[in-house]
Structure 1
Amino acid sequence: VAGDRTLTFDELRAQAAAFAAGLTALGTGPESVVALCLPRGADLVTAIIGTLTAGAAYLPVDPALPAERRRYLVEDSGADLVVTDGTAGSPAPGARAVTIAELTDVRNGTRTPYAPVPVTAGTLAYVIYTSGSTGRPKGVEIGRGAVSLLLRELEGAGAATGEGRRVGWNASPSFDASVQQWVRLCRGDTLVMIDEETRRDPALLAALIDERALTDLDVTPSHADPLLDLLTPGGGPRPLTLLV
């Protein structure tokens, strides 16, 4: 769920396959790094799943980051390709760039059904950068097995249990907390995207929790304190699981 847009798992699978086919046609495959310069939304989810389906790794580049930081992430990572939503150019001049619309364009009907590329637990899944608070940001490479382990640990800790859960994606795509939010798709949970304006305003966030019937939300302590005072006992499902 992203604003007024919704995707079923079948629709997400089809769109991710089209995205993966586009990547493969451009020569992107296992161990390639694809920079995703996309805001939180349905397109970002499609791009993440599509990149992984193609056997490649994704590099999240939040468009809200300063321009210099975005350029550094793309150049330092050596990303093979940059994917944008078309509202702005590549964050790094000279980097090979394409829009998500171009990758998923199947109007010519020439693409055949796409089979996911075989991978192992050690195949690179994503590259994410540290904050750089103690120096220059450093890229950390994470394998597929670690992502699977993260989901198992969330389930084992009781942070991802039961069926029919509705999980809010609250974190910046460029922070590792985002992974433990989108990975919930892998257990059949519904992912609800939270836009930047809403996540910054406790009143708007509380209203969205009730309106979208969220059951799980990953927040920082500074987010949680004002939020708890605004949640109405009769609104939305209770209890609401907060992962702080």
Structure 2
Amino acid sequence: DTPVPPPAAWNATSRAASRAPLGELFASWAARTPRAAALVAGDRTWSFGEVDAWANRLAHHLIGRGVGPERVVALVLPRSAELVVAELAVAKAGAAFLPVDPAHPEERRAMMLADARPVVVLDDPEHIRAVTGPEHTPGDADRLAPLLPEHPAYVIYTSGSTGVPKGVMVPHAGLGNFAAATAEHYQVRPGDRVLQFSSPSFDASVLELCSSLLAGAALVVPPEGPLLGAELAAVLREHRVTHALIPPAALATVPPEEVHEGLPEFRTLIVGAEACPADLVDLWAPGRRMVNSYGPTEATVVATWTDALEAGSGNPPIGRPLPNTRVYVLDEA
């Protein structure tokens, strides 16, 4: 039998980590690899340098509209290049972005906007594309107030499955640790291509952002609408996606013959959002790194993850805590 380590050993996860804000973490990659692909949408590719300049222009525009630390900007936009740039721009301005999926029910969208009280709502992709302004990275001298690691970086609303949806404000302080940990554990390298699969309103979209643009990899934006079955396989294949977080319910729709024969470049599959059945592990784990990840919205997306799953190992556990994270199993008392 495998010995069970004491709680102190289980939670011995401390390591040095950056507390730099999201915009600064991205800008550092733009400075290191300005010509590398950062964002892919349709037949268009933007480099890190181009995305950084675009986000800086929008950030300065937002600052001029009263956007800054401890304020919220709502992004009512579908999966798109404009959404990604807007998220970076809001972070650079020092505010927290609130992604609101336009495909969600009107009642939920109205509730989120009424509760969050954003100072600005961005819902026009054309405006985001056309914005002009300075292209240098905003600093505290440009912002309305100094940006601190404890300031909120983004707001995500819970599903409301246990009651009324609640807005969770996640600070910048943990994003450097999260980005470094995901790059290491998911084995993301500069030049890799990460799929933007999640709805913008779910925090899995933050994982996709951090594990790509904060690791020197490209974020691939697929067409609007649900990605399922052969269409999902086609997007993975045609865009040469190397990494993706895909819920088990979506994985189960992909034709089995596509899993190995048609996806030679798909190296890392992250599953989450729901329990993953053993038969999907048996089908998808051979030939690639498959990792089960778990975490509540309040925990900067992921709190625990497994090592690489193996076919025949049964239903996957939720794994061990991330670096600088502690987890506890509690009884009802």
Tell me which interval the TM-score lies in, with the shorter structure as reference length.
Answer: 0.7 to 0.9
Deviation string, structure 1 residues 113-158 (Cα, Å, up to 9, x no partner):
44323433212100110001111100001001122222122134x2
Q: Identity of paired residues, percent? A: 40
Q: Is the 8 A contact 2:74 2:113 kept in 1?
A: yes
Task: Find out whether 1:224 has 2:229 as its counterpart.
Answer: no
Aligned to 1:93: none
- Counterparts in 2 of 1:125 and 1:230: CA distance versus 1, 3 Å: farther
Pairs within 5 Å for 1:27-106? 27-85=66-124, 99-101=127-129, 104-106=130-132
Matched residues in 1 for 2:136 and 2:190: separation? 29
Task: Find out whether 1:129 has 2:186 as its counterpart.
Answer: no
- Counterparts in 2 of 1:228 and 1:137: CA distance versus 1, 3 Å: same
The alignment of Structure 1 onto Structure 2 pairs a total of residues equal to 225
Aligned to 1:211: 238
- Counterparts in 2 of 1:86 and 1:164: CA distance versus 1, 3 Å: closer
Q: CA RMSD in A?
A: 1.9
- Counterparts in 2 of 1:239 and 1:208: CA distance versus 1, 3 Å: closer
Q: Give the letter aligned to residue 210 of structure 1.
A: R
Return the offset for 1:225. Answer: 2.5
Query: Structure 1: any 5+ residue segments left out of the alignment?
Result: 88-98
Matched residues in 1 for 2:68 and 2:159: separation? 28
Select which of 167, 173, 178 maps to 1:139: 167
Q: Give the 3-state SS of the residue equivalent to 2:170 in structure 1.
A: strand
- Counterparts in 2 of 1:215 and 1:204: CA distance versus 1, 3 Å: same
Matched residues in 2 for 1:112 and 1:163: separation? 28
Q: Give the 3-state SS of the residue equivalent to 1:136 in structure 2.
A: coil
Greater Rg by CA: 2
Matched residues in 2 for 1:24 and 1:232: separation? 46
Q: Give the letter aligned to residue 3 of structure 1.
A: G
- Counterparts in 2 of 1:19 and 1:230: CA distance versus 1, 3 Å: farther
Matched residues in 2 for 1:127 and 1:180: separation? 14
Q: Give the 3-state SS of the residue equivalent to 1:6 in structure 2.
A: strand
Q: Is the 8 A contact 1:198 1:204 kept in 2?
A: no
Q: Is the 8 A contact 2:54 2:135 kept in 1?
A: no
Q: Give the letter aligned to residue 82 of structure 1.
A: V
Matched residues in 2 for 1:57 and 1:117: separation? 16
Q: Is the 8 A contact 2:183 2:189 kept in 1?
A: no
Aligned to 1:180: 207
Aligned to 1:90: none
Q: Is the 8 A contact 2:180 2:215 kept in 1?
A: no
Matched residues in 1 for 2:254 and 2:267: separation? 12
- Counterparts in 2 of 1:238 and 1:105: CA distance versus 1, 3 Å: closer
Return the offset for 1:228. Answer: 6.2
Select which of 165, 170, 173 maps to 2:192: 165
- The more displaced of 130-139 and 116-125 is 116-125
